[in-house]
Homo-oligomer: A and B are copies of this chain.
Amino acid sequence: MTTRNYRRQDCPIAFALSIVGDQWTILLIRDVLSGTNRFDDLQKRLGISRNLLTRRLKQLVADGILIKRQLPNSRRHAYWPTPKCTALRPSILALAEWGQSWRGDAGGTRVEITETDSGRAVGVRFCRLDDGQEVSPARITVKRISG
């Protein structure tokens, strides 16, 4: 894959994209993080070929982003996010915020992030690391709201 070449650059952004920069990969991670875990369901949501989805899933398992586990009482498998995967949430939600700011239409599905306990609105922002004001990723709720 072409994005593997990014690793020749000594840059953490290039490194990140060498893993998540292939086409469909971030959208696939988006769906696993929002609870779609089975191959057939992922394929339906993304509308890509089974071959391409197989390749992407295999690579994400190899890269430690997803874990593949057999479903109980079934021969089928499902895919689960690792901590390395959930750590991508700020990047993906920052893209969501950018997308809804610049999409240029009032309608369309929006992503709403809130603090789970208080219901207060949360965004991905620049935050001082020493003042304890950041909201833990474990304490946020993400909802998709149809436009």
Contact of A102 with B87 at beta-carbon distance under 8 Å, contacts A3-B23, A27-B9, A108-B10 already known? yes
Cross-chain contact of A27 among B17, B95, B127 (Cβ < 8 A): B17
The one of B20, B131, B134, B147 that contacts A126, using a Cβ cutoff of 8 Å: B134
Contact with B along A79-105 (1 / 0, CB 8 A): 000001001101110111111111100
The A interface, classified by DSSP as helix, strand, loop or mixed, is: mixed
For A10, the closest partner residue in chain B by CB is B109
Q: Given A2-B23, A10-B147, are A87 and B98 also a contact pair (CB < 8 Å)?
A: yes
Contact A87 to B101, CB < 8 A, known contacts A13-B30, A134-B127: yes
- Give the residues from 120 to 147 in chain A that come closer than 8 angstroms, CB to CB, to chain B: 120-131, 133-137, 140, 144, 146-147
The distance in angstroms between the C-alpha atoms of A57 and B121, with both chains bound, is 36
Q: What is the count of identical protomers in the complex?
A: 2
Would you call B124 and A12 a contact (CB within 8 A)? no
Q: A11 within 8 Å of B by Cβ?
A: yes
Query: Which A residues contact B (CB, under 8 angstroms)?
Result: 2-3, 6, 8-17, 20-21, 23, 26-27, 30, 47, 84, 87-88, 90-92, 94-103, 108-111, 113, 115, 120-131, 133-137, 140, 144, 146-147
